[in-house]
Every structure is written in structure tokens, then in C-alpha cells.
Amino acid sequence: MFHDPHLAREAGVILLDEQWLAATGRDARAEAAGVLEQAGLTEVGFVEHDLGGDPTVLPGWRVVDETRVPLVGGHHLLVTTQSAVG
């Protein structure tokens, strides 16, 4: 799942065989988390710009791993692996 929808589009052909969602706000993340649960997923990745704070946690999920991915100009993405709670 991507916080910013354009990040998935920018990946181009490498994501054509993958399923992904974009959720840019709190309400959208809650709705997406419900979709993930209905699909029976128990683990997902969440990609966002690394602004140096705590990672975004999806409602009903917990962060089990995080990876910083370097971009140009000193910018980074933060990719968290999240596991469904319960």
C-alpha cells in the first residue's frame, strides 16, 4: 500500500504483476485496512516518504519491520511491513 499514489505509478512495469492500494489519509487508510482484512491478507507493505517521525500504522495492524530506501537528493522512502492484529 502506498501513502502517495504516484509512487506506485512511478515504478512502472515492475508493479504490473502486483496488486497495490493507495491511501492518503486517515479515513482512506481505515477503509483500505478493511479491504485488506476482507481479502484475508495478514501481512502488507506500506510505503511513504520518510520524514523522520514514527511510521504510519494502519488501523488494526502493527509494524513488524521497517526499511529506509534512499532516493536522490538525500530523500528516503520508509517501507514498513505490517501484520494484522488478531
Query: How much is the pTM?
Result: 0.78
pLDDT, tens only, 37-47: 899 999 988 88
Encode 21-42 in three state secondary structure: CECCCHHHHHHHHHHHHHCCCC
pLDDT over 70 at 11, yes or no: no
C-beta atoms surrounding 49 within 10 Å: 13
Give the per-residue pLDDT at 13.
46
**What's the CA gap between 85 and 61, in Å, rounded?**
5
